[in-house]
Amino acid sequence: MEQFFTIVTLALFAAAMVTMHMIVRDSLPYLDEQDRASFRAWANNRSCWRPVNINRALRNAWSEHRRVFPKSRKYLLFACFVMGTFVALMAGALYSH
């Protein structure tokens, strides 16, 4: 049963990351060049010794997507997947004890 909670947690986390990727992909044409360069550098970063800070770029992509696509439901999906991940993680921890 612990494997079930682990699989569900990983699946929900992966779904949250895919949803965030969809939000960034949708808003990428509307971002300025500096934010696009940050995403390219992050995607091309193969070394863990050179971390790329993309917090500002993610925040700008989120805001730009919200401005351009005000009726999008991807925010709700992302929030549900993140909360589901947390609940599954906690349920797995409670079940194992």
Nearest alpha carbon to residue 6 among 83, 92, 80, 84: 92
Query: For the chain, what is the domain count?
Result: 1
How many Å apart are CA 40 and CA 31, to the nearest integer?
13
CA-CA-CA-CA dihedral for 78, 84, 87, 90, to nearest 10: -90
Render pLDDT for 57-94 as a digit per residue (tens, 0 to 9). 999 999 999 999 999 999 999 999 999 999 999 999 89
Residue 88's domain spans which residues?
A: 2-96
Distances (CA, A) of 51 to 16, 26, 32, 39: 22, 24, 21, 12
The pLDDT of 48-59, averaged and rounded, is: 76
What is the SS3 assignment for 48? Answer: coil
pLDDT tens digits along 3-31 = 999 999 999 999 999 999 999 999 999 99
